[in-house]
Each structure stands twice: as C-alpha cells, then as structure tokens.
Structure 1
C-alpha cells in the first residue's frame, strides 16, 4: 500500500467537503431553502442514471456520473456563478482552471489527471457524455423553478428569452428531455411564473 497516495486521497476527500457549503441560487423542490453544490451534484448523478436511456447518442453512464459529481468542485475556490448572471459569464474561467489544478492536484498524479480531463471534457461540452451531463445540469434547476412558482426567475426577474436560450442546451444531449423541458418553459409562461 502506498501511504502517501492514501494520505493525498484523504486530503482531497476532506477538501471537497467544502462543496456542501457552496450555496446555489436555486431552491430545493417545493421549498424556500437554497440548494448547495453537493446536493445539486448528487441529484444530477441520479438523474443521469435514471434518464440515460433518453440520450441522443450512446453514452458511458459512469463517465457522465463522474462528470456531474465533479463539475462544480472548482466552485470551492471560484464560487458559484448564477447561470443568469448579467455581469459574469457562466463558463470556464481562469479562476476555475486554477481551482481545478489546485483541488484535483491534491490527488495522486494519475487520479488528478483523470479528473481534470473529465472536468475539461464537461466544460468543452463536445462529447456525447458532456452533452448529456450538461443537459442534466440545465434540467434540474428548470424542474426546481417550476416547482417553486417561478423560483429564481421571479426573484431575479429572469425573462423567457434568457431561460429559453440557457435551457436549449438540453437538446444537444437529449431531444426527448428537451421536448419535455420546452413544454415546461411554455407552461410556465402560460401560468404567469415566467415573463416574456
């Protein structure tokens, strides 16, 4: 047994506990409590397992599960950026790159390289796995906002066009899930919980 590797892995495990303290803007289903990044990632992992059959293309489900479990770990250092933020773009930033190198760098070299590569693949959004992972990442807050009578859409005055633009990424991973998501968006407008 390599004691140094084990100690590095334990250090990483302790460090990522901080994900539980990163508050997101969205709230839990039918709740006024904000979700944290750990809850979000756990939910996406289960959504991936349950909804994988609806992927546009065959996917490696375990790889997608890894993606969704680690995709927000960088927010330990960089913080959560609200997807509808009008000042800071919700994309791979220099801060996130530094965070990925630092946090995953706590692991033994081979594991660090693997997780950084998976994180980069998610961020690029080009593979079948990344497209499906991003679809799950965009679907969950949509479900939350519709369960919360508009949720963050109302709270931050987010309009239909912005929601539609951000959520349309879902179709890259799953046309079936996108058809459902699009109907939820349109129903939200009809109910008056999302303004045009």
Structure 2
C-alpha cells in the first residue's frame, strides 16, 4: 500500500475540520434544543468576538482568534465531551491531547505544534489570551442559552448561567455578562 501523500493528509485534516460543522453541541442536544448549534458555529462566533480585542486590552488578538479556532478541534475525533458524560477531566484531557497529536500528523509540523500549543495554553488558562478565550467560550454558551430561551419559550436553561457564576476573569466579558443578565431580566 502506498504511503499517503501530503494532499491525502491535508484532505484528512480538512475532513476532520468539516466534521465540526455537523457535530451538534452536546449540552443543547441533552436539553432538547431543536436544531442545536454545531461546534464549528460556536468556534466561529468566539473567533468573531475575539476580533473586538486589541493590544490595549492586554492580549494578542490574533493569538486569541487562533486559540478560539483551535480550542475544540479535538472534538472532531473525540466528540463534544461534557461534564454530564461522567468522564473525568484527566481522561477528557488525555483523549483530546491524543486526538490533537493525530491531527498534527496530518499537517505541517510547525502548524501542528502551534495548534497543540494553543490548545494546551487554553487548557491551562494561565495567559491573558487563554483567560480571555475561556471567557469567550463561557460567554458564547450563555449567550446561546439566552437565544434558545428567547426562541423556544418552553426551554429553561438557567443551569448554563449558573455553571459560569464567578468564573469570568476579564473586565470586558464581565460587562457583557452583566448586560446579558439585564436583557434576560426584562
């Protein structure tokens, strides 16, 4: 059997990225949300939010955008694992790291290392960029919950808001959360 060509590897990478366009976010599926958003849509909105930040905010905006696009890439292989799946955090981390190691074999070493480093940085949450992206991840979730509650009056998604209480770290996103709460309370 002939070895895969570079284009074969790239197309495998493209297909994995494409899976995210069709992978519904598990939390919404479990709550019975009709036609729930997919992982790619979540990553896209986060990346668009990251465009609003500049070096004046103390972050590298381009790095944040890349981190938004990389943070859930492993889900193309392992799926969208949520706390309700009962999988320990260490196991989730291990599965996602292994998936990223595989994905990295499909693309250039430089890009593979960058994606993996962005994912590790996000998981550790210790840099200003990672803290912002984690905030954007949580904010997108509660904004999406609000949108679903507004669209489907029967849905009660307060648990998503409750799960983020006290976890936001960046001033701008904290302001967005406060404004969202004001909107919800109208």
Verify same fold: TM over 0.5.
Answer: yes
| Aligned partners of 1:9 and 1:108 also within 8 Å | no
Report how far residue 59 of structure 1 moved.
Answer: 0.9
Aligned equivalents of 2:183, 2:88: Cα separation in 1? 27
| Equivalent position of 2:50 in the other structure | 48
Aligned residues, how many?
177
Aligned equivalents of 2:182, 2:163: Cα separation in 1? 13
Q: 1:105 to 1:156 in 2, by over 3 A?
A: farther
| Aligned partners of 2:136 and 2:173 also within 8 Å | no
| Equivalent position of 1:80 in the other structure | 80
Deviates more, 1:103-112 or 1:131-140: 103-112
SS of the equivalent of 1:120 reads helix
| Equivalent position of 1:194 in the other structure | none
List alignment gaps of at least 5 residues for structure 2: none
- Report the TM-score when normalising by structure 1: 0.74
Deviations 1:121-160 (A, max 9, x none): 11111111111111111111111212222799x868754x
2:180 counterpart of 1:184: yes
Aligned equivalents of 1:8, 1:116: Cα separation in 2? 17
Q: Which has the higher strand share?
A: 1
Aligned equivalents of 2:179, 2:17: Cα separation in 1? 36
| Aligned partners of 1:56 and 1:175 also within 8 Å | no
Report the aligned-residue RMSD: 3.2
Which structure would you say has the larger RCO, counting Cα contacts within 8 Å and 6 or more residues apart?
Answer: 1
Q: 1:106 to 1:22 in 2, by over 3 A?
A: same
Aligned equivalents of 1:77, 1:187: Cα separation in 2? 37
Q: 1:165 to 1:26 in 2, by over 3 A?
A: closer
Aligned equivalents of 2:158, 2:87: Cα separation in 1? 15
Q: 1:81 to 1:102 in 2, by over 3 A?
A: same
Report how far residue 104 of structure 1 moved.
Answer: 2.4
Report how far residue 71 of structure 1 moved.
Answer: 0.9
